[in-house]
């Protein structure tokens, strides 16, 4: 089981209506500072994957995605559909981490 596989595996554990950060995922797997690699793993996902990539955002609650196939608008729409509040400020999408960050202990 390589690092990417573990990223996907962990991502699937994120409950609907919650979000996780890149750093959080990295911490759960191996090293807390491998956040960049998590992003890389998600970046190579095929369109239509069953991995809930939209639930993974950056540490400040922003949608930092840039991939045209997985646009921020798309991600925001998916999150809203799951019940996550998403705010738009200055063309940037935000999520209230205080409310929606995934607590692994749950």
Among the listed residues 10, 14, 70, 79, the single contact to DNA using CB under 7 A: 70
Interface with DNA includes 79 (CB under 7 A)?
no
Interface with DNA includes 33 (CB under 7 A)?
yes
CA distances from 41 to 7, 25, 52, 81 (A): 7, 11, 13, 24
Interface with DNA includes 2 (CB under 7 A)?
yes
- Shortest separation between residue 22's beta carbon and DNA, angstroms: 3
DSSP letter at 65 equals -
CA distances from 15 to 1, 52, 55, 95, 106 (A): 22, 9, 9, 16, 10
Interface with DNA includes 71 (CB under 7 A)?
no
CB 3 within 8 A of CB 37: yes
Interface with DNA includes 45 (CB under 7 A)?
yes
Please give the residue ranges that form the binding site for DNA (CB under 7 A).
2-4, 21-23, 30-31, 33-40, 42-43, 45, 53-54, 56, 58-60, 64-67, 70, 75, 89-90, 92
């Amino acid at each position: 089981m390589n690092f990417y596989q573990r990223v996907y595996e962990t991502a699937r554990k994120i409950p609907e209506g919650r979000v996780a950060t890149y750093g959080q995922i990295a911490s759960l797997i191996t090293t807390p500072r491998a956040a960049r690699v998590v992003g890389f793993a998600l970046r190579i996902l095929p369109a239509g994957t069953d991995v809930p990539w939209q639930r993974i955002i950056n540490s400040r609650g922003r949608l930092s995605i840039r991939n045209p196939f997985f646009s921020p608008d798309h991600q925001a729409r998916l999150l809203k559909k799951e019940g996550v509040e998403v705010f738009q400020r200055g063309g940037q999408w935000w999520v209230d981490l205080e409310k929606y960050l995934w607590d692994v202990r749950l």
